Structure 1
């Protein structure tokens, strides 16, 4: 019983009914225009041929539907129909708002949807108008002073004789039944339109593929920006944290060193601001020519800054770093930056060895440091995991390799990038 009465109380039944009526309302101007034009043509062709409005309406149905279908080629029609369907018929994921398609197949599907909508909607509108009018007449029969004309003008099921008491009592019940029939019919037609909407208004296979490609590109761009933030801002904030902590500890015993540490904090803050401005420019799709693009030419500055934080960096750079391709040089700098930052973050100011070997077709970089006793069990986990994952992503895009792990009490980070095909 609950399932049987569900269409009567379900909100979607009435929103879909409104959608059907709107289709009928939209169809009326098309039908009237074609009917008037056809009646004029028939009237000019033969006397009396265009005297029947009903015949003109029937003949005008086909061209009116063709005109409705042709509106699918107007810009914005498919988008408007999608909004209307999602508001009144169904919010199925398949009926989603996308870019206005210009393919012929999509326009044909939109045209078919419009034709189905207005034709079914026109029939539903006529049934609604006639059915509700008859239901109102039947309901009024019970209290009308002269119900004979009302009830005979509505239905002839009571015969030609004046209605009796039983017929007057039955008339409102019949009207209520008629309204129920209309509601169930509207629910059935609405459910049909809800099933057709994803098929005719939903994205095609090509559009779904394009949407998936766009989402993949968006996610890739977001990951790239996340790596930029982690590598640049993360390094600067780690340096600031270490320098500020050191200055706080020695500010009374060694004011000169504390002053130097605070100056370094100021320098790192400026670098972080510049890097952040660069990333924000990327988010706003601004391409600033002055945006910082640090590469291996800045490696010595990075090493000196790390030494200033208290780490004993033993650097060994062999080969011409200026001959390294730009993108490889930038990504290698980021790997060195992330590796040194991880050392400072997890091990503190410990001795670090940095080896960089640059060849004609490839380069290798290794960063190693002793693993502190207290953190040897969990080294490389926690916050450093995101950095290692970002480095692997960078190297993966360039076809490089990365290995990282503890060995004989030392943590080693090794990366290799080849920019020329060995064959």
Structure 2
């Protein structure tokens, strides 16, 4: 039973008939090439004279090879490979489903596209002929059983049972022959469609070099997206955390401490301006507009960050040793972001609590430590957050390390970066 089902599956499979349409379309496209070269061949043959010169059959035979060469040359036109790939995806079920559509850029890719066009269009032309002749002939044979006088119907057709009026047995046999011819056409087209489905990924799919280039492009795109996500998270996230805390505190003391409320509103306005500049910078990167005017904050801005955090109400004790100006630019910028994210996490999860920030700058590296009292609920909320993942990604790119976790009732974050060996 499974064998019979497998044998009959081409008759009922949708793929058989969509691939049939795909092949017929190839035959339709083949006709203008063939007709143009055949007309040119007939003019040349007619001018040469001789028996059979200029006949349609000889013109078609002579024009076939130039037509195939023109079809192959079409592969060098822009967009041909992309269009062929989309057509295969739409009609040749299962082929190129997971492949990326890319225009041919190398000579080898264009050669593969040319071979595909020649196979598709020539096979499509053969299928068009088989469809017209096979379906017509099968219909004539099937109608023999019911037409009273099939002589006119059989005229010009390939009737296998002779030219005399058919006997009843011959009528029945002709009907079976028509059904067999129809099945032969369907199975032939199904087999040819399956073959084209196997050839499509080989000839239209990306080569190994193209796959490698696409994978490299995806890696670079993903890395850039992650970098922009970190920038947005650290800069905009910090500003929003400050705005939230300042606004909440100002709302509670607006009647009892107008001076603090005014100071909080000024801090909110400053953070909003900073966030707008940071957002403009990131959007400029997304739009590939080149360098923007937004400043790249580094350790030179650390004191301002500490003062802004203190203005919210957090008691920040800063201990800085060494010369932050001696830190390489990229390390300085990433270290500033780590300090910013560390202080933001304190404000977000623990509120305006005492914070100790220690920065040690040496001749070939630096360490940063941020510690604050942290209840169990705040510790649980901070484990596995996006901020920690972003800091680890920053440090991994620089060859640094990050340790973060609860220790003696405090949350401690330690980061270490060395650049001496990298120079």
* Common fold by TM > 0.5: yes
CA contact (8 A) 2:96 2:200 kept: no
CA contact (8 A) 1:113 1:200 kept: yes
Equivalent residue of 2:297, what SS? coil
Is the deviation greater in 299-308 or in 50-59?
Answer: 50-59
Equivalent residue of 1:353, what SS? strand
Instruction: Using the TM superposition, give the Cα deviation of residue 166 of structure 1 relative to its aligned residue in structure 2, in angstroms.
Output: 4.3
- List runs of 5+ in structure 2 lacking aligned partners: none
CA contact (8 A) 1:250 1:258 kept: yes
Instruction: Using the TM superposition, give the Cα deviation of residue 30 of structure 1 relative to its aligned residue in structure 2, in angstroms.
Output: 2.4
Instruction: Using the TM superposition, give the Cα deviation of residue 217 of structure 1 relative to its aligned residue in structure 2, in angstroms.
Output: 1.0
Instruction: Using the TM superposition, give the Cα deviation of residue 93 of structure 1 relative to its aligned residue in structure 2, in angstroms.
Output: 4.3
Give the corresponding residue for 1:381: 383
Is the deviation greater in 231-240 or in 352-361?
Answer: 352-361
Instruction: Using the TM superposition, give the Cα deviation of residue 419 of structure 1 relative to its aligned residue in structure 2, in angstroms.
Output: 2.9
Deviations 1:134-159, CA, capped at 9 Å, x for gaps: 23333444554531232354233222
Q: Does 1:265 align with 2:268?
A: yes
Give the corresponding residue for 1:206: 209
Equivalent residue of 2:305, what SS? helix
Is the deviation greater in 393-402 or in 46-55?
Answer: 46-55
Q: Does 1:306 align with 2:329?
A: no
Deviations 1:192-244, CA, capped at 9 Å, x for gaps: 11111001100000111111111111111111111011111111111122222
TM superposition score normalised by structure 2? 0.90
Give the corresponding residue for 1:135: 138
TM superposition score normalised by structure 1? 0.90
CA 1:307 to 1:181, structure 2 compared with 1: closer, same or farther past 3 Å? same
1:9-408 alignment runs, 5 A limit = 9-45=12-48, 47-48=50-51, 50-93=53-96, 96-142=99-145, 144=147, 146-151=149-154, 153-168=156-171, 171-372=174-375, 374-375=376-377, 378=380, 380-381=382-383, 385-408=385-408
Distance in 2 separating the partners of 1:95 and 1:106: 18
Distance in 2 separating the partners of 1:18 and 1:258: 74
Q: Does 1:410 align with 2:423?
A: no
CA contact (8 A) 1:68 1:115 kept: yes
Deviations 1:273-313, CA, capped at 9 Å, x for gaps: 33223222222223353124211121111101111111111
CA contact (8 A) 1:113 1:197 kept: yes
Distance in 1 separating the partners of 2:344 and 2:338: 10
Deviations 1:362-383, CA, capped at 9 Å, x for gaps: 22222122233x437636415x
CA contact (8 A) 2:395 2:401 kept: yes
Distance in 2 separating the partners of 1:87 and 1:273: 45
Equivalent residue of 1:239, what SS? helix
Equivalent residue of 1:363, what SS? strand
Distance in 1 separating the partners of 2:158 and 2:271: 90
Equivalent residue of 2:380, what SS? coil
Is the deviation greater in 235-244 or in 288-297?
Answer: 288-297
Distance in 1 separating the partners of 2:78 and 2:146: 54
Distance in 2 separating the partners of 1:44 and 1:376: 95
Distance in 2 separating the partners of 1:69 and 1:408: 75
CA contact (8 A) 2:349 2:378 kept: no
**Paired residues, number:** 420
CA RMSD of aligned residues (A): 2.5
Is the deviation greater in 55-64 or in 309-318?
Answer: 55-64
Instruction: Using the TM superposition, give the Cα deviation of residue 39 of structure 1 relative to its aligned residue in structure 2, in angstroms.
Output: 4.0
Is the deviation greater in 146-155 or in 42-51?
Answer: 42-51
Equivalent residue of 1:69, what SS? helix
Distance in 2 separating the partners of 1:309 and 1:51: 95
CA 1:30 to 1:277, structure 2 compared with 1: closer, same or farther past 3 Å? same
Distance in 2 separating the partners of 1:37 and 1:393: 67
Distance in 1 separating the partners of 2:315 and 2:215: 48
Equivalent residue of 1:369, what SS? strand
CA contact (8 A) 1:95 1:201 kept: no
CA 1:97 to 1:380, structure 2 compared with 1: closer, same or farther past 3 Å? closer
- List runs of 5+ in structure 1 lacking aligned partners: none
